[in-house]
Amino acid sequence: MENNSKVFGYCRISKAIGQVEDRQKDLMRLEYHIPESDIFVDKISGVKMERPALGELQKALRRGDTLVVESLSRISRSSRSLLALLADFESKEITLISHKERLDFSTVTGKLMLALIAALSEFERDNLRERVREGLASARSRGRIGGRPKTDKKALEKAIKLHAADTHSICEIVAVTGVSKSVLYRALRDKKEAQQSQDGVAVEAPNSSK
């Protein structure tokens, strides 16, 4: 590590399941001695998955810096996006340390884990393609290609739970449950509005001019 290099921290909080940022930030401050100003926090709420703090962090990182996360799931929602991020860090000589997994990707063990993640990512892609092919073949055999399919309530409930758990990307949830993005987004929006109504918060009506 270069003498003028810095150590940053990144936290991602899921407000949907009541996560608190203090626990992650305390880890950064107490165990890795990262100042508050160098800890970036994204708070994910509702159906929006934008991570502006991660974008700002990537702009702040310089060659030779180190990034600490509580776990790999905090910085990436899929193995594919994690691999892309790690490749970018490697090209800039940025070290990623995951506290929960006890991984430093600049070490031999970390590089071995990276190879394993790459293999699992390829397996996931192959498995997803196979499920899509089987689903299409099954639908054709029943003459159900085309048109709007009926929503499976159990599948939708599973999709909502997976989203709340904050461990899968939207694309992964869609692939696993078979629920379309539009149906999932609509259900999440309806759930959020219902919760706001119960809490006595007025829900803004959609702007018809948009």
Residues known to be catalytic: 14
Query: How many alpha carbons fall within 13 Å on the CB side of residue 94?
Result: 22
Structure tokens at 79: 């193995």
Long-range residue pairs from 123-132, CB within 8 A, at least 24 positions apart, any chain: 124/78, 124/79, 124/80, 125/80, 128/175, 131/175, 132/175
- Taking residue 30's Cβ as centre, other Cβ atoms within 10 Å add up to 9
Tokens of 93: 């000589």
Q: Which residues contact 64 (CB under 8 A, 6 or more apart)?
A: 1, 2, 4, 5, 93, 94
Integer Cα distance of 15 and 209 in angstroms:
30
